[in-house]
Amino acid sequence: MAEAQFGAETSKRGEWVRQANRFTDRITADGSSGWPVEPGRYRLVVSLACPWAHRSVIVRRLLGLEDVLSLGVVDPIRDEAGWRFGLDPDGRDPVTGISHLSEAYLAADPEFAGRYTVPAILDVAERKVVTNDYPQITLDLSTQWAAHHREGAPQLYPEHLRAEIDEVNAEVYADVNNGVYRCGFATSQQAYEEAFERLFARLDRLSERLADQRYLVGDTITEADVRLFTTLVRFDAVYHGHFKCNRQKLTELPVLWAYARDLFQTPGFGDTVDFDHIKRHYYATHHQINPTGIVPAGPDLSGWRTPHGRESLGGRPFGDGTPPA
- Strands 120-123, 128-131: pairing kind: antiparallel
Does 118 carry a binding-site annotation?
yes
SS3 call for 80: coil
Active site residue 181: yes
Does the annotation flag 283 for ligand binding?
Answer: no
Is 115 flagged in the annotation as binding? yes
At 321 the three-state DSSP class reads: coil
Q: Is 282 a catalytic residue?
A: no
* 116 marked among binding-site residues: yes
Count of other CB atoms within 10 angstroms of residue 14: 16
Half-sphere exposure of 198 (CA within 13 A, CB side): 19
| Selected catalytic residue, list 50, 105, 239, 245 | 50
Three-class SS of 268-283: CCHHHCCHHHHHHHHH
User: What distance separates the 2 farthest-apart alpha carbons in the chain?
Assistant: 55
CB of 257 closer than 8 Å to CB of 299: no
Is the preceding peptide bond at 119 cis, omega within 30 degrees of 0? Answer: yes
| DSSP character at residue 21 | P
Q: Which among 42, 105, 134, 181 is annotated as catalytic?
A: 181
Residue list, annotated binding site: 83, 115-118
Give me the active site residues, please: 50, 181
Residue list, annotated binding site for glutathione: 83, 115-118
